[in-house]
Chains A and B, each alone.
Chain A
Amino acid sequence: MRRRRIHDKFIEILLVIATIAVLLPLIIIIFHVIVEGVSALNYEFFTEELGSPSRAIQGKPTGLVHTILGTIVVDMLALVIAVPVGIGAGMMLSEYPDHMLNPTLRIMNDTLNGMPAILKGLFAFVLIVKPMGTFSGLAGGVALSFVMLPIIARATESALLTIPWTIREAGLALGIPRWRVVISAVMPAAKTGLATGLLLAFARAAGEAAPLLFTSFGNNYLPDQWFGFIFNPVDTLPQRLYSLAISPYSEWHSMGWAAAIVLLVMVILAFVFARFVTRGKVQLK
């Protein structure tokens, strides 16, 4: 009896240590990012474009407004492309499990998920940048949508599969067409899972720099017109973070840390937003 209790305690301690081992790096990273970057977060950071390094060195106003806006545009483009396709693929996998295309679809989805992100960028380069003759936010969005797609498809599938099959049969038995049952009865019931999937995909893609290197390319300035964010080279936070970090200017280093804070906050805000949107009145049993 006593031995069992000691054993139990021992396992409990191991679990606590494991939890700390997971959380500690996260806390250290967040803490360090904030300490290093907070000094560069000022009004100009959110209102001015970056310009040449001399601006920062001479203490002229400089910031990353074009990067923040560019990130939002590129990520939104990626969502617009990946959400319908990804949810569609997920619906296909869960709602038509007997379909002959599904085994192939599943393998392709897993392959896409495991494919290095830089290859996805390369593919978007061939697909969009070459024909257009220029780097663009659109190309960046397409590249990131390849990152999001398999995550959304998988998350949609597993979210829909948590809804009992009897719900679908009940709908069919009322003479409701199958697609309508899925959209009106099954999807709403799975909305929390769906939103979590979208978020995971967003968070993952928002942090990717590799697919953007030769698609959205980067830019030190705001575009002349708003559509420059779509059709011209665009700056994004992960990629800018990288180029600031490897630059030889200490002013840019601290701006890089600040960019990391903004990226973190963006992802956290997305989580809060999704929680808010899916906070249903109904608690599913």
Chain B
Amino acid sequence: MEINIMKSKDLPEETLKTVHSNTENQKTVMKNRMETKNLTVKYGSIYGVKNISLPFQDKTVTALIGPSGCGKTTYLRALNRMHDLTREAKIEGEVLLDNKNIYDEDINPVTIRRKIGMVFQKPTPFPTMSIYDNVVAGLKLVGIRNRSLLDEVCEKALKQAALFDEVKDRLKTPAVSISGGQQQRLSIARALAVEPEVLLMDEPTSSLDPQATLRIEELIHVLKKDITIIIITHNMQQAARVSDKTAFFYVGDLIEAGDTNTIFTNPKEKQTEDYITGRFG
């Protein structure tokens, strides 16, 4: 079951394929929605991350852990071409979404970002828009004007993000008028409204209180029934609680990746163990 999350350099691809095709049942469960192959991100001559090969199975939650500055965010931002904005950033290797490299010439980064959503560390509501307009921004700003469709999407997304009940009577009020925790859930609702296939979350709960954190973790549990989630967290308990798989990064390298249970109870690498048990990082 979990074989293909192991470091792919340890395990030749052919092996993976054999395992895949063993039974029909397993094949569907273990489908890789997304995968990076030898992904390197450089800023000028400085390496952000080096040679990362990591699969992300469909409908699972993968936690990326590691000390600050280890390249988690750099890696995550490469997954939906956020580095396109920075000219110094150079990407090598492949990022595959359904076996298609998203850095290929014929791929439009705008449509790719529609499939691969992102939630940031801090809430990012559009400051002049209402709660409603924020949630449907991803649809409205690409030309969808169908009012009833937008209403429907708005309600669904807010419910998914566990925010609907708190704001349903004031959807037209400015998004900046709600609390920070609510704004973060609003940011999540907005990301969900465009129905991404993969959701990248960069420490989504780092600015939230425990109550709001809990709600977002519950949300992740619900969401993974439908989509693939990759989450960066500095909170080991959180990684253990929400993720199926865990990948440990250290100074730009992927040290170890695998089943969350295994990583937390029986890591192969000493560095991983040291980090998880709090001896460094």
Most A CB atoms within 10 A — which of B80, B128, B138, B194? B128
A110, CB-defined interface residue at 8 Å = no
Q: Which of A134-142, A180-188, A205-213, A220-228 contacts B (4 or more CB under 8 A)?
A: A180-188
B80 touches A173 (CB 8 A): yes
Q: How far in angstroms is the closest Cβ of chain B from A247? A: 51
Indicate which residue in B138, B176, B187 contacts A175 across the interface (CB closer than 8 Å): B138
A285, CB-defined interface residue at 8 Å = yes
A282 touches B138 (CB 8 A): no
Question: In the bound complex, how far is the Cα of B194 from the Cα of A171, in angstroms?
Answer: 12
Contacts of A184 in B (CB 8 A): 126, 137, 141
Using a Cβ cutoff of 8 Å, how many contacts connect chains A and B? 91
Q: Which of A6-14, A27-35, A162-170, A230-238 contacts B (4 or more CB under 8 A)?
A: A162-170
B128 touches A189 (CB 8 A): yes
Most A CB atoms within 10 A — which of B87, B126, B174, B176? B126
B176 touches A282 (CB 8 A): yes
Contacts of A280 in B (CB 8 A): 128
B113, CB-defined interface residue at 8 Å = yes
Contact with B along A191-209 (1 / 0, CB 8 A): 1000000000000000000
B85, CB-defined interface residue at 8 Å = yes
Question: In the bound complex, how far is the Cα of B118 from the Cα of A185, in angstroms?
Answer: 17
Contacts of B82 in A (CB 8 A): 169, 172-173
Most A CB atoms within 10 A — which of B85, B129, B187? B85
Contacts of A166 in B (CB 8 A): 120, 122, 124
Given A98-B87, A281-B174: A176 touches B128 (CB 8 Å cut-off): no
A272, CB-defined interface residue at 8 Å = no
Most B CB atoms within 10 A — which of A163, A175, A280? A175
B127 touches A167 (CB 8 A): yes
Question: In the bound complex, how far is the Cα of B177 from the Cα of A189, in angstroms?
Answer: 15
B141 touches A173 (CB 8 A): no
Contacts of A23 in B (CB 8 A): none
B142 touches A171 (CB 8 A): no
Question: In the bound complex, how far is the Cα of B125 from the Cα of A282, in angstroms?
Answer: 13
Question: In the bound complex, how far is the Cα of B86 from the Cα of A168, in angstroms?
Answer: 13
Nearest CB to that of A184 among chain B residues? B141
Contacts of A170 in B (CB 8 A): 118, 120, 124, 126, 187, 190
Nearest CB to that of A177 among chain B residues? B110
B114, CB-defined interface residue at 8 Å = yes
B85 touches A176 (CB 8 A): no
Q: How far in angstroms is the closest Cβ of chain B from A194? A: 12
Question: In the bound complex, how far is the Cα of B137 from the Cα of A177, in angstroms?
Answer: 12
Question: In the bound complex, how far is the Cα of B137 from the Cα of A188, in angstroms?
Answer: 14
Q: How far in angstroms is the closest Cβ of chain B from A133? A: 47
Question: In the bound complex, how far is the Cα of B122 from the Cα of A166, in angstroms?
Answer: 9
Question: In the bound complex, how far is the Cα of B126 from the Cα of A11, in angstroms?
Answer: 42
Indicate which residue in A98, A167, A188 contacts B124 across the interface (CB closer than 8 Å): A167
B86 touches A171 (CB 8 A): no
Contacts of A22 in B (CB 8 A): none
Q: How far in angstroms is the closest Cβ of chain A from B205? A: 16
Indicate which residue in A164, A168, A175, A284 contacts B113 across the interface (CB closer than 8 Å): A175
Q: How far in angstroms is the closest Cβ of chain B from A184? A: 5
Contact with A along B49-89 (1 / 0, CB 8 A): 00000000000000000000000000000001010011100
Question: In the bound complex, how far is the Cα of B129 from the Cα of A185, in angstroms?
Answer: 8
A188 touches B191 (CB 8 A): no
A174, CB-defined interface residue at 8 Å = yes
Contacts of B114 in A (CB 8 A): 174-175
B111, CB-defined interface residue at 8 Å = yes
Could you list some 23 contacts between A and B, CB below 8 A? Answer: A98-B85, A167-B124, A169-B82, A169-B85, A169-B120, A170-B190, A171-B137, A172-B82, A173-B82, A173-B113, A174-B138, A175-B111, A175-B113, A175-B142, A176-B137, A177-B142, A178-B110, A180-B142, A184-B126, A185-B128, A188-B128, A189-B127, A280-B128
Task: Known A-B contacts: A173-B120, A184-B141. Give 14 more (CB < 8 A).
Answer: A98-B87, A172-B82, A172-B110, A173-B82, A173-B113, A175-B111, A175-B115, A176-B141, A176-B142, A177-B110, A180-B141, A188-B128, A189-B128, A284-B176
